[in-house]
Structure 1
Amino acid sequence: MDFDDTAALLVIDVQLGFDDPSWGARDNPDAEANIGRLIAAWSDASRPIVLVRHDSIAEGSPLDAGSPGNAFKDVVADAPHELLVTKQTNSAFYGEPDLHGWLGARGIRQLVIAGIQTNMCVETTARMAGNLGYDVTVPLDATHTFDLEGPGGIRLTAAELARATAVNLSGGEFARVVTTDEVLDAARG
């Protein structure tokens, strides 16, 4: 793993609305601290940082645009950044302004993706980035998700979903799945 000076950090949906108890049990209580470490390292190295915010249009959503839950958490609220992408879907590549166009105009080919939720917006954005030809790295411990129920009452814990995301991204060759420490070591080297 080797990051050039243009490697962009995408910080996805680190918003207050994800603290709402309606989401249920979450994993990885260190996610926000690790995201903060990545932001600090990227800022110190003058590498590009992109913040992504989910502006929900679902009635009553904790992430509803204009609601207090739509705001960024403290770890991200004052983060220096070159671009803010707002979206209403799982992928940052379907947001405004056009993320792919912005990255392409700057010759950015390497992405480090962190944020919330591991198996939703982080995974979807990473899969799309991989399909678009980016060199994608996901520090899994700089993400978190929530327990989720699927068809027939099947319920997976947040930790199980995070492991599934790691397998999907790595096994499917969409992204390199590592730790925050590994990213920081490579970024310094």
Structure 2
Amino acid sequence: MKKALLIVDMQTMPFVWKDYGGKTLYQEEGLIANTKLLIDKAREAQSPIVYVLHTEMTGPRSVEQPLWKVVDPLAPAPEDLLMIKYHADSFHETDLHTLLGNHEVEGLVICGIQIEYCVDTTVKRAYSYGYNVELADDCTSTFDSDELTAEQIIRHHRHLLQQFASILPSDQVRFKT
């Protein structure tokens, strides 16, 4: 089964929000290190890597603006694929499903930000399309909300998402089967 790595919204904005009065991304350093491990594994297996980029029509998160770009330590290589999205669902009003089909992808390893929004929605939609979905649980993150800590949000969504995906740490993800 051919797998692809789907990196959801790992853009500059969530990593710098704390510098502008926002909240701190939970376990940021581990998130980057573990995602780099997944990228290295996918490259070694020659699996497609797709960066899904949350995009706004105007403003600092519009195309090619500094906060829109993938965070530097995880920057895409020229051969990687970029998919612009305007909704939480990476498949909604995008060509992602077609792109994956063109690459004969049957399985997805999904990671990214925020687990309770874009990652959750994308995992469920990928499942509904029939992909074999794996969620790299140490490669997802979010922020504290007013009601719950980031750790509580992540734990809750991992529990819910196990109905739609295998939940694995990055060191157990395999791209060659």
TM-score, length of structure 2 as denominator length: 0.88
State the aligned residue count: 173
Equivalent position SS for 2:130 = coil
Q: Percent identity?
A: 34
Separation in 1 of the partners of 2:134 and 2:112?
Answer: 13
> Structure 1 residue 165 and structure 2 residue 157: aligned?
yes
Separation in 2 of the partners of 1:132 and 1:91?
Answer: 13
Counterpart residue number, 2:49? 49
2:61 alignment partner, one of 43, 63, 76: 63
- Deviations along 1:86-141, one digit per CA (max 9) or x if unpaired, are 01111110254x11111123321100001111221111100110111110000110
Counterpart residue number, 1:27? 26
Separation in 2 of the partners of 1:46 and 1:70?
Answer: 26
Aligned-pair CA distance for 1:165: 1.0
Change (3 A) 1:80 1:116: farther
Change (3 A) 1:115 1:103: same
TM-score, length of structure 1 as denominator length: 0.83
Unaligned runs of 5+ in 2: none
Q: Assess if the C-alpha contact under 8 Å between 1:114 and 1:142 holds in 2.
A: yes
Q: Which amino acid aligns with 2:154?
A: A
1:15 alignment partner, one of 3, 11, 15: 11
RMSD: 1.9
1:146 alignment partner, one of 143, 146, 162: 143
Separation in 2 of the partners of 1:119 and 1:20?
Answer: 18
Unaligned runs of 5+ in 1: 150-154
Separation in 2 of the partners of 1:80 and 1:160?
Answer: 37
Separation in 1 of the partners of 2:169 and 2:39?
Answer: 15
